[in-house]
Amino acid sequence: EPEVTQTPSHQVTQMGQEVILRCVPISNHLYFYWYRQILGQKVEFLVSFYNNEISEKSEIFDDQFSVERPDGSNFTLKIRSTKLEDSAMYFCAMGGNGGAFFGQGTRLTVV
């Protein structure tokens, strides 16, 4: 049974547009994470979120990105002014020790 549901499953957006990727936990978790995988590359850490604050972020997670839990349940990743190189699978994860439970991912395609 999936712990994490991500929406949408696929998002196509024009370069320069803003996108919001959503993550809905099925059960209560305290730690939330976003990872991404560019085609043919490793899964990369973006950001971790605990107690409504960013606890750690990678070099990739610059001012273009932001995260929040707007209603205390959904966990969102916002990418402002998307670039072609933002095209990737974006995975939300939850749990301790880096995020044991991953969602099925959102495929973001920037055209």
Please compute Rg for the chain using Cα positions.
13
3-state secondary structure of 84: helix
Question: Does 33 contact other proteins by CB under 8 A?
Answer: yes
Q: Of residues 19, 21, 35, 110, which one binds other proteins by CB under 8 A?
A: 35
Residue 100 Cβ, how far from other proteins at the closest point, in Å?
A: 5
Residue 16 Cβ, how far from other proteins at the closest point, in Å?
A: 27
**CB contact at 8 A, 102 and 92:** yes
* Neighbour-count burial of 91, counting CB atoms closer than 10 A to its CB (0-12 exposed, 13-18 middle, 19+ buried): buried
Distance CA 78, CA 89 (A): 14
Nearer Cβ to other proteins (48/82): 48
Nearer Cβ to other proteins (45/75): 45
Question: Does 4 contact other proteins by CB under 8 A?
Answer: yes
* Neighbour-count burial of 52, counting CB atoms closer than 10 A to its CB (0-12 exposed, 13-18 middle, 19+ buried): exposed
Q: Of residues 29, 91, 94, 108, which one binds other proteins by CB under 8 A?
A: 91
Binding site for other proteins (CB under 8 A): 4, 6, 31, 33, 35, 42-45, 48, 50, 55-56, 58, 91, 93, 97-105
